[in-house]
């Protein structure tokens, strides 16, 4: 964190602004995503957060997520958006609604609107706002990276 604060102070001074607050540094650091530059969506299972990215830069997030429960964990790895369905219903879980689904594995795992207080059956649950944003911003073929 010491280097990060020094860099923020140096950038502020170079811009002609000598104001530095720890809140600015914390906000900038929390926006950093742990995924590679090719990722359009990034998921951190350990921090329970997701981001949208472009060219290695965060464009949205972090946003809160829930992921798979024991026995149905969300797998880490690099995937691609396979298909999207705004009004999807689960054929596996009794026609359960999965609004704003963005599928990225061939085993049915998707981002979608869902509970942020309960673990899922492997999917990435997002708030309504985040789910609509991910649905609208992600396209078939884009990279989704899931890190532990």
Answer for the pair 88, 112: CB distance below 8 angstroms, yes or no.
yes
Q: State the residue for tokens 């811009």.
A: 15
Angle 99-105-111 from CA coordinates, rounded to 5°: 30
- The predicted pLDDT at position 96 comes to 85
Query: Which of 54, 56, 34, 36 lies closest to 46 in space, CA to CA?
Result: 34
Q: How far apart (Å, rounded) are the C-alpha atoms in residues 67 and 122? A: 6
Low-confidence ranges of the chain (pLDDT < 50): 1-30
The pTM for the full model equals 0.78
Rg of the Cα atoms in the chain: 17
- Which segments within the chain are labelled E, that is strand? 39-44, 49-54, 57-64, 77-80, 83-89, 97-103, 110-113, 124-126, 143-147
Beta strands of 11-116 (E only): which ranges?
39-44, 49-54, 57-64, 77-80, 83-89, 97-103, 110-113
Distance, in Å, from the CA atom of 91 to the CA atom of 136, rounded to the nearest integer, reads 23
Give residue 31's pLDDT.
56
Contact 74, 122 (CB under 8 A): yes
Q: Given this model, what pLDDT does residue 74 score? A: 97
CA distance 124 to 83: 15
């Amino acid at each position: 964190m010491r280097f990060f604060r020094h860099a923020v102070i140096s950038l502020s001074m170079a811009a002609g602004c000598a104001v530095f607050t720890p809140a600015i540094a914390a906000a900038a650091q929390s926006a950093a995503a742990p995924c590679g530059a090719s990722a359009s969506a990034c998921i951190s299972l350990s921090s329970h957060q997701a981001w949208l990215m472009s060219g290695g830069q965060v464009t949205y997030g972090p946003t809160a997520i829930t992921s798979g429960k024991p026995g149905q964990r969300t797998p880490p790895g690099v995937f691609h958006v396979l298909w999207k369905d705004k009004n999807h219903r689960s054929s596996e879980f009794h026609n359960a609604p999965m609004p704003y689904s963005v599928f990225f594995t061939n085993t049915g795992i998707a981002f979608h609107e869902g509970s942020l207080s309960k673990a899922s059956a492997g999917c990435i649950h997002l708030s309504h706002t985040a789910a609509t944003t991910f649905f609208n911003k992600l396209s078939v073929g884009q990279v989704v990276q899931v890190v532990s």
